[in-house]
């Protein structure tokens, strides 16, 4: 069982954290808040990448008719019995059928129909004789062919319903729709697709020191890196990011941003113990500050709570801490709300540490690592403001709270960026 959550103080500014929740307890609280959002309809052309909200069954056989799988001649297989280049069988050509058309004639003994790939098999025919297994009539007439190979019943014929049958389960709820899924849905006549509504995620980027994304750094001010990073992470996890722009370190401005029309609010910056860290106090006053301070590095100032039905995440302003807190908590919530799996969307595998990775008992560590010739090499656990450590890294290792780290040569789980 996860530890009980310590009751967070409503105001830790210039005091520090008296208690920190464990990662397990914080996740347990978070998971108890999460249910998938309601469904909505998405036009077929815009449904790729969305999460299917309910099972889809086919109402039709696909294809709905027997069809030719090769260019050639629709025949009665019995009429070609014994045919070879030394024993040719002459057949009368009574018509032609192309894809999308039908021929209102029946193939009777001694006759055939010229047919193209995908065209419906005419009545009476049960096989297709490929064009390369036919010679033209010696007199050059178009109304006769000579079969030089026999075919068995059903040869080169696509059967009705061989792709999908009416009533068959096509796609299950919870599936993230791929381009080929869109093609299958189209083939069974689906125009609007029932999908889970994407969570609307308000990005509240705070700090008087920040310049808008894309600006050149200037003087003692820094350019917003968290806003674009969080927007990309939210989109990756199936949410709809909406930006409040840069919000000044002013309680009323932050409060107004917290009340945005959203399912989830991500506050970047102003979550720690500085005198200008207003967001935790506002959340405690106007909603519920369930967690503030988590035993992990980086990201220990992370907070979580609720406000008028919104989930609110207080993410540290230091970029690596912001990324780590998002991945551990906010991203998990956005994925579940949008009908996706809670787990990290990273590939994972075992790898060997080429040198030791040191940690401290009592906290979870998020250590960036890089591939090397002999395994993986730790880059950093600290350095919460050094965002480039995540771009130099190939992935990360999580050191559990009951561990002092891993020795050189240890096999560890790596999550790959």
The pLDDT of residue 140: 63
Same domain, 84 and 143: yes
Same domain, 79 and 150: yes
Task: Let me know if residue 293 belongs to a domain.
Answer: yes
Is the pLDDT at 368 greater than 60, yes or no? yes
In this prediction, residue 222 has a pLDDT band, given cuts at 50, 70 and 90, of confident
Cis (ω within 30 of 0) for the bond into 298?
yes
Same domain, 32 and 84: no
Same domain, 286 and 384: no
Same domain, 148 and 106: yes
Is the pLDDT at 272 greater than 90, yes or no? no
Structural domain total, the chain: 4
Same domain, 186 and 115: no
Is the pLDDT at 226 greater than 50, yes or no? yes
Is the pLDDT at 385 greater than 60, yes or no? no
The pLDDT of residue 233: 98
Distance, in Å, from the CA atom of 279 to the CA atom of 203, rounded to the nearest integer, reads: 13
The pLDDT of residue 13: 47
* CATH number of the domain enclosing 169: 3.90.105.10
The pLDDT of residue 384: 52
Angle at 47 between CA 42 and CA 51, to 5 degrees: 95
Q: Judge whether 263 and 201 are in contact, CB under 8 Å.
A: yes
Task: Let me know if residue 11 belongs to a domain.
Answer: no
Bridge partners (DSSP) listed for residue 308: none
Task: Let me know if residue 110 belongs to a domain.
Answer: yes
In this structure, the strands spanning 364-372 and 296-297 are parallel
* Cα–Cα distances in angstroms (integers) from residue 71 to residues 106, 132, 358, in the given order: 19, 9, 68
Two tokens, residue 314: 């207080």
For 26, list phi and psi in degrees, rounded to 5.
-65, -40
Two tokens, residue 385: 């403001």
Residues of the chain above pLDDT 90, percent: 81
194-213 pLDDT, tens digit per residue, is 999 999 999 999 988 888 88
Task: Let me know if residue 9 belongs to a domain.
Answer: no
Same domain, 219 and 332: yes
The pLDDT of residue 9: 65
Task: Let me know if residue 377 belongs to a domain.
Answer: yes
> Is the Cα dihedral 104, 109, 115, 119 positive or negative?
positive
Helix residue spans in 1-150 (DSSP H): 23-32
Stretch among 27-36, 39-48, 215-224, 269-278 having the lowest mean pLDDT: 269-278
Is the pLDDT at 14 greater than 80, yes or no? no
52-102 pLDDT, tens digit per residue, is 999 999 999 999 999 999 999 999 999 999 999 999 999 999 999 999 999
**Rounded (10°) angle between helices 251-258 and 279-286:** 60
For 397, list phi and psi in degrees, rounded to 5.
-120, 140
The pLDDT of residue 209: 87
Query: Of 196, 216, 243, at which residue does a domain stop?
Result: 196
Bridge partners (DSSP) listed for residue 103: none
Distance, in Å, from the CA atom of 97 to the CA atom of 104, rounded to the nearest integer, reads: 10
DSSP state, residue 329: I
Query: Of 110, 142, 158, at which residue does a domain stop?
Result: 158
* CATH number of the domain enclosing 232: 3.40.980.10
Same domain, 247 and 312: yes
* CATH number of the domain enclosing 372: 2.40.340.10
What is the pTM (predicted TM-score) of this model? Answer: 0.85
The pLDDT of residue 274: 63
pLDDT mean across residues, the chain: 91
The pLDDT of residue 367: 92
> Is the Cα dihedral 14, 18, 24, 30 positive or negative?
negative
Task: Let me know if residue 391 belongs to a domain.
Answer: yes
Closest alpha carbon to 350 in 308, 307, 397: 397
Same domain, 394 and 283: no
In this prediction, residue 346 has a pLDDT band, given cuts at 50, 70 and 90, of very high
> DSSP 3-state assignment of 24?
helix
Structural domain boundaries, residue 174: 45-60+162-196
Distance, in Å, from the CA atom of 54 to the CA atom of 73, rounded to the nearest integer, reads: 43
Bridge partners (DSSP) listed for residue 399: 365
Query: Of 158, 188, 222, at which residue does a domain stop?
Result: 158
DSSP state, residue 362: T
**CB neighbours of residue 223 within 10 Å:** 15
Same domain, 219 and 240: yes
Q: How many Cα atoms within 13 Å fall on the side-chain side of residue 252?
A: 0
The pLDDT of residue 188: 96
Element (H, E) at 230: helix 226-236
Torsion of CA 257, 259, 264, 270, to 10 degrees: 40
Is the pLDDT at 145 greater than 50, yes or no? yes
**CB neighbours of residue 389 within 10 Å:** 18
Residue of higher predicted confidence among 6 and 229: 229
Same domain, 224 and 330: yes
Same domain, 330 and 227: yes
- Chain centre to alpha carbon of residue 221: 36
* CATH number of the domain enclosing 125: 2.170.190.11
Task: Let me know if residue 13 belongs to a domain.
Answer: no
Distance, in Å, from the CA atom of 33 to the CA atom of 306, rounded to the nearest integer, reads: 9
> Is the Cα dihedral 96, 100, 103, 107 positive or negative?
positive
Q: Judge whether 240 and 200 are in contact, CB under 8 Å.
A: yes
């Amino acid at each position: 069982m996860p530890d009980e959550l310590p009751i967070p103080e409503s105001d830790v500014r210039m005091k520090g954290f008296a208690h920190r929740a464990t990662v397990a307890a914080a996740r347990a609280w978070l998971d108890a808040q999460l249910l998938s959002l309601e469904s909505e309809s998405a036009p077929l052309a815009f449904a790729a990448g969305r999460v299917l909200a309910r099972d889809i069954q086919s109402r039709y056989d696909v294809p709905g008719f027997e069809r030719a799988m090769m260019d050639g001649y629709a025949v009665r297989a019995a009429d070609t019995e014994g045919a070879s280049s030394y024993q040719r069988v002459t057949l009368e050509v009574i018509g032609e059928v192309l894809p999308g058309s039908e021929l209102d004639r029946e193939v009777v003994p001694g006759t055939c129909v010229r047919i193209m790939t995908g065209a419906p098999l005419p009545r009476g025919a049960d096989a297709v004789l490929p064009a390369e297994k036919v010679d033209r009539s010696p007199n050059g007439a178009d109304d006769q062919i000579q079969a030089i190979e026999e075919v068995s019943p059903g040869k080169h014929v696509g059967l009705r319903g061989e792709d999908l049958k009416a009533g068959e389960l096509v796609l299950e709820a919870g599936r993230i729709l791929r381009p080929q899924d869109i093609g299958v849905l189209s083939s069974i006549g689906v125009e609007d697709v029932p999908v889970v509504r994407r969570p609307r995620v308000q990005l509240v980027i705070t700090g008087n020191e920040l310049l808008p994304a894309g600006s050149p750094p200037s003087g003692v001010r820094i350019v917003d890196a968290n806003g674009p990073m969080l927007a990309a992470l939210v989109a990756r996890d199936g949410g709809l990011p909406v930006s409040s722009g840069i919000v000044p370190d002013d309680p009323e401005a932050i409060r107004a941003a917290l009340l945005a029309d959203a399912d989830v609010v991500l506050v970047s910056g102003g979550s720690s113990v500085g005198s200008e860290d207003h967001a935790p106090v506002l959340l405690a006053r106007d909603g519920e500050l369930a967690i503030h301070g988590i035993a992990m590095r980086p990201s220990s100032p992370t907070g979580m709570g609720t406000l008028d039905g919104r989930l609110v995440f207080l993410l540290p302003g230091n970029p690596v801490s912001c990324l780590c807190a998002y991945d551990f908590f906010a991203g998990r919530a956005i994925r579940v709300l949008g009908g996706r799996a809670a787990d990290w969307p990273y590939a994972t595998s075992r790898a060997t540490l080429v040198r030791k990775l040191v940690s401290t008992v009592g906290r979870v560590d998020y250590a960036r690592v890089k591939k090397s010739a002999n395994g993986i090499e730790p880059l950093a656990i600290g350095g919460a403001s050094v965002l480039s450590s995540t771009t130099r890294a190939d992935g990360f290792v999580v050191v559990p709270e009951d561990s002092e780290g891993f020795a050189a040569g240890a096999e560890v789980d790596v999550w790959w960026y």
